[in-house]
Amino acid sequence: MADGTLDVEIWRGGADGAFERFTAPARENQTVLDVVTWVQRNADPSLSYRFACRVGMCGSCAMTVNGKPRWTCRTHVSRVAKDGALKIEPLKNLPIIKDLAADLAPFFEKWSAARGRFEAAIGRDDPLVPISPETAERQAASSAIECINCAVCYSACDVVAWKPDYLGPAALNRAWAAWNDVRDGDRKGVLRAVSANGGCHNCHSHQSCAEHCPVELNPTAGIAGLKRATSRAMLRGDLK
């Protein structure tokens, strides 16, 4: 960054692609997404990447930056560049579509497999179920519901890398919220889903998910909660 430029290496192509080097201007205040956008607009318009909101809400701009998964729209270059150098790759543990765009289909399929959807117990004409914010379940759910679906945790997870059918931290974090939602009509279904082969019991609690989560959630804690819930249910004979 000394001479006012950044040395930027960007992954090009699919899984068998390679890094391409660009020189981008170093600015006092810029995010990694700003740099990627500069490259696409000024150096190579064929560069593919994904973003939407640019303010850390939509979770679509996550990439691997200097080896770590990050939300690029809220990651300042000054915080992550090493001697003015950036190495930007697509998210790990997911197929590459092209350049910096990873295919998130397996990630969201696992949300479904973890029983991430809400199963309504009542109809739309029934009165609303009052939920006190003080209850243990509501507070446990609160710790999990701010997920922006960016897949940073999934990319950071060692177990996903070793065991590709593992559901991963984000899907299990969603399952933890669903398990604690007392309005859900099939909460045992959540426990069944997370007890399957690639389920919560594969987690080694390395906590890479919690370390890298941009919104500071702790999926490891939720997964530990699911392990406790499934074990209790099994000892009581509710889960066979």
Partner 1 sequence: MIAAKLFLLQRISAIALAPLVIGHLIVILVAVQDGLTADEILARTQGAVGWMLFYGVFVLAVAVHGAIGLRAILAEWTPLHPRAVDGVAAVWLLVAVALGLRAVIAVTG
Residues that bind partner 1 (CB under 8 A): 159, 162-163, 192, 195-197, 199, 201-202, 227, 230-231, 234-235, 239-240
Q: Are 147 and 94 in contact (CB under 8 A)?
A: no
Nearer to partner 1, 124 or 240 (CB): 240
CA distances from 194 to 116, 120, 219 (A): 10, 19, 14
Nearer to partner 1, 124 or 236 (CB): 236
Nearer to partner 1, 19 or 162 (CB): 162
DSSP state, 120? B
Closest by Cα among 165, 231, 162, 167 to 200? 167
Closest by Cα among 130, 129, 205, 138 to 177? 138
How far apart CA 91 and CA 87 sit, in angstroms, is 12
Q: How far is the CB of 223 from partner 1 (least distance, A)?
A: 12
Nearer to partner 1, 145 or 234 (CB): 234
Q: How far is the CB of 160 from partner 1 (least distance, A)?
A: 11
Q: How far is the CB of 13 from partner 1 (least distance, A)?
A: 26
Nearer to partner 1, 62 or 191 (CB): 191
In this structure, the chain runs to a length of 240
Q: How far is the CB of 92 from partner 1 (least distance, A)?
A: 16
Q: How far is the CB of 230 from partner 1 (least distance, A)?
A: 5
Q: Are 148 and 57 in contact (CB under 8 A)?
A: yes
Q: How far is the CB of 90 from partner 1 (least distance, A)?
A: 23
Closest by Cα among 187, 165, 216 to 56? 216
Nearer to partner 1, 43 or 224 (CB): 224
The residues, any chain, with a CB within 8 Å of residue 160's CB and separated by 6 or more, are 93, 154, 166, 168
